[in-house]
Amino acid sequence: MAGNFGLGGISGAFSSRNFQIYWVGNFVHTVTVWVNRMALGWLTWEMTHSGLWLGLISAAGMLPMVIFGPIGGVTADRFGHRRQLVTATYTGAVVAAVMAILVALDEATPENLLVLAILAGILRAFNVPARSAMIHALVERRHLSSAIGVNSATYYGGNFIGPALGGLLIAGFGIAPAFFAYVAGEVIAATSFFLLDIKDERPKSAHGFNLFGDLVQGARYTAGHKGILSLMVLSAIMAMLLQPYIDMLPGMADKVFGRGADGLAYLTSATGAGAMIGGLWIAQRGRTEGLVRIQVSMALAAVVMMIGFVATDHLGIAMAALFAVGFCLISAHSSNMTLVQNSVAPELRARVISISGVVGVSGPAFGALVLGWAANQFGFRLPLAASGLIAFLAILLVARMVLKHAPILEAPPSNS
């Protein structure tokens, strides 16, 4: 098959002009997201030297997804994916500018950063479901798997470029420019989304806008679709027990490896490089066949590699392990998102994606809080190792349920 060689399905996704425009803006956005994430984590660590504060700041940016994510899915389905995405992204630029100004004026404190992180998290709850659901409108459905893979590779590829850029900005100009870079990224992304030549499709309904009714409809559909439900369970395990490792990296860089911002940049760039390649691998496959087995096997492999990371105090070996962790986790994540998008009813797309977003965002938030508390009590190694071992057992328990529904989840589109 052509999809197995060279760029494969990636070229199919980029044959769409809309996807090209979306990708450029999204690439700038994701790079600056990771610049900001690194800068915020390092600033928090410098001000507090507390693993608990690292967990709190991380959770503050993600936990609002639990409450507002499903609402964001409903409003995106009802009022248009792009309209909501543009509005949320421009507003996010305003919040980011306030944070950058506070840092530049040396008025930032852990408390006001926490408040701003919560506001950014609320906006993210409206951004994520709209942005994810909109991808299907940018490409033909036969290129959907590749588009999602490219999107995932872009996001985590930003983890490779962003920390390196953030490290250079902080080392050369101080920490404030890293925060202002994120403001610019938000503006560029919002403008690119605004320029897309697509229509905001809204479902025809016999009743008007009913927030509670639409929320219930999305929840019932997700719970009743056994294939999608099984994906949600596996995603929850990865999100809560595996993904929070990245929020502990500032403390690991300092306490375990004895390095500063440069060590943090090395570690986050290593995991980002692996993630980028993992996403591109899924993208170039260009098909849904085999994605369920890939998701399960990559999730298990990620645990093994994470244990290798926490077991070493050699920076080079740690970077190699994190490269593998990034590759495995993003391969599993991209597979999961492709299977959800492939299986969901179009009129409920954003609502189901918002539920997936709640799982994918709140899981790491809760996990980061627990790991942050445990790191203060036992150091960073033991909690990360324990979390990985629990994840390994949990994945084994649910693997059969996920594999059982592979024929439904991987079914090719009837209109392709």
Encoding tokens for residue 54? 């690292």
pTM of the model: 0.70
Q: What is the CATH number of the domain that holds 239?
A: 1.20.1250.20
Domain membership of residue 414 (yes or no) is no
Per-residue pLDDT of the chain (416 residues; tens, 9 = 90+): 334 434 556 887 888 899 999 999 888 988 888 888 888 988 998 899 887 888 788 778 777 878 888 898 888 888 888 899 999 999 999 999 999 999 999 999 999 999 999 999 899 889 888 888 788 788 887 787 788 778 777 776 676 677 778 878 887 888 999 999 999 999 999 999 999 988 765 555 545 567 778 888 888 888 888 888 989 999 999 989 998 888 888 888 888 888 887 888 888 888 878 888 887 888 787 677 888 999 999 999 999 999 999 999 899 999 999 999 999 998 998 888 888 877 787 777 778 877 877 787 778 878 888 888 898 888 888 999 999 999 999 999 999 888 988 888 888 755 44
List Cα–Cα distances, 34 to 16, 78, 121, 327, in angstroms: 27, 31, 15, 17
| Residue 148 · residue 69 · CB < 8 Å | no
Q: For tokens 């260009």, name the residue.
A: 286
Which residues have CB under 8 Å from 94's CB, separation 6+? none
Total tally of structural domains belonging to the chain = 1
294 found inside a domain: yes
Domain that holds residue 337: 7-197+210-409
Neighbours of 309 (CB within 10 A): 27
Neighbours of 111 (CB within 10 A): 8
- Assess if residue 119 is contained within a domain: yes
Of 356, 353, 336, give the one whose Cα is nearest residue 345.
Answer: 353
- Any domain includes 377: yes
Domain membership of residue 171 (yes or no) is: yes
